[in-house]
Structure 1
Amino acid sequence: MYGYKLLAECLWNQYRLKLNHKKSYRLCKALDILQPQRQKRFKHPRKLPENRVITGPNQLWQMDIKYGYVAGRDRHFFVLSIIDVFTRVIVGYYRGSSCEAKHVCQTLWRAISSHSKAQDELPVVRTDNGPQFVSHLFGDMCESWEITHERIPPRTPDLNAFIESFHSLLERDVFGKEEFSTFEEAYAAVDQYMDFYNNRRMHTSLRKMPPVKFSEWVMSLDDRSKFFWPRKNVK
């Protein structure tokens, strides 16, 4: 027995009766001949975000993908960014003409290798439900390295607010101001902005320091309990 899409194709081949897939679905439903829907089975079930008080670096990272546009090629490119919620440092990023699960895994692993010490507990990683993040490859990596991977529910970007805010800045300060002729121009602009954001852009919530400088200041404190710095109740 065919599904509704192939039934529409059969009607066209045999009777030259043209139905789009929506009308074919409605007719099959009215006749009660729809095939049962296959249930999706996820190898790695979604873990919803928890309410967390973040008190230091490398406790919670948020990750997301942003689209850019190369006018000279009439094509889009991708920017994958990972932000540390406490320090606001972009701990890792990737830019390319495609963004697959393998690129996400490679970028996350480089960020962990650069920012986490061997004895430290690995950060919780929070994403949306993009295909790269629900892939078997990314799930297998998180499971293998015992990384807690949280996925926000659909239509709740506020639960990934820090990386969403950063990407809105990237859109405003770079993509909204420049028109790129080549991929190389676009990648160079992204690289320059990442360096500016991490090392020179001051944040009022970080004692008017750039993210990297704030991170270094926090790590240099002998007794952090004597000082005040942002504590974020993040869900």
Structure 2
Amino acid sequence: MELMAGEESAYGYRKLRICLQRKHQLIINKKKTYRLCKELDILMPQRQTKPRYPRRIARNRTIHRSNELWELDIKYGYIAGEDRFFYLMAVLDVYDRSVIDYHIGLNCEGKHAAQTLQRALWKRKVYQTEKKPVIRTDNGPQFISRIFEETCEHCQVEHERIPPKTPNLNAHIESFHASLERDCYQKHEFTTYHDAYQIVTEYIDFYNQRRIHGSLYDLPPATFRRQVAARQVPSFTVTL
């Protein structure tokens, strides 16, 4: 209280702790200082920061064709031989269920999400088109990072995030993750990162090119997309 009555009155609890340590040689941590300040009602008002990129909540949509809505999410895998985890970040088209692009690595940051999104836009040839897909993610740190939001803004794509504890709003990529877990992760014990990378890459190729998908007229995603473009199978709508 003496500090708050003096020139240190502008300090918050963190700097008050430093003053107590330096001036009075007290052994005290910032948590204890916070509790004392709260009890004495001398906590400084918390600064209110306005986010540069406000969250857009995912809404119900009706999808009529490819490249309208993409879901982006992360799946963990375990490398038993090295006793560590790896990450798979994938971009999936809700309409044709294709894994457009992905990142596999021992770490997964906002920059990887940004790079994966940019590659997906180039692969689908929509990077420079006026109409671009909506990107739907959860609230993971990679997807709320500044670099990912800046990339979305630069590429002029709308980024929407599902509310917490609502994985059903990302149901299509969650379904892919379930297939990946059942058909790949559970059938292999990865000994090295290289081993995991090769096996998962091969599975994604199988998933896109050869795996029969019940909701796509029993066609693989790549075949379905070609046949829809050629009007060999009827198109449909996806409501979510």
Q: Hey, what does 1:38 align to over in structure 2?
A: 47
Q: 1:73 to 1:120 in 2, by over 3 A?
A: same
8 A contact 2:14–2:30 mirrored in 1: no
Aligned 8 A contact 2:17 2:30 in 1: no
SS in 1 for 2:187: coil
Counterpart among 23, 29, 39 of residue 38 in structure 2:
29
Contact 1:5/1:24 (CA < 8 Å) preserved in 2?
Answer: no
Q: Which is greater in Rg?
A: 2
Residue 79 of structure 1 is aligned with which of 88, 97, 100?
Answer: 88
What TM-score does the superposition give when structure 2 sets the normalisation length? 0.84
The answer on 1:135 being equivalent to 2:149 is: no
Unaligned runs of 5+ in 2: 1-10
Give the AA of the match of 1:84: D
8 Å CA contact retained: 1:128, 1:153: yes
User: For residues 138 and 49 of structure 1, what CA distance do their matches in structure 2 show?
Assistant: 17
Deviation per residue, 1:75-134 (Å, 9 max, x gap): 221110011000000011110111122211111111111113454621111111112211
Identity across aligned pairs (percent)?
46
Conserved 8 A contact 1:206-1:230: no
Given the superposition, is the C-alpha separation of residues 209 and 28 from structure 1 closer, same or farther in structure 2, using an over 3 Å criterion? same
Q: 1:20 to 1:82 in 2, by over 3 A?
A: same
Q: Which amino acid aligns with 2:83?
A: D
Partner of 1:205: 215
Indicate whether 1:214 and 2:236 are aligned.
no
Query: CA 1:155–1:4 in structure 2 vs 1: closer, same or farther (change >3 Å)?
Result: farther
- The residue aligned with 1:51 is 60
8 Å contact 2:87–2:105 — kept in the other structure?
Answer: yes
Aligned residues: 228
Normalising by structure 1, report the TM-score: 0.85
Q: Which amino acid is 1:148 matched to?
A: E
Superposition RMSD on alpha carbons, in Å? 2.6
Query: Is residue 126 from structure 1 mapped to residue 136 from structure 2 by the alignment?
Result: yes
- Note the C-alpha offset of 1:2: 4.4
Match of 1:190 among 181, 200, 210: 200
Q: Deviations over 1:13-69 (max 9, x none)?
A: 93446x783x65444323223332233432211111232110111110000111112
Any unmatched runs of 5+ in structure 1?
A: none
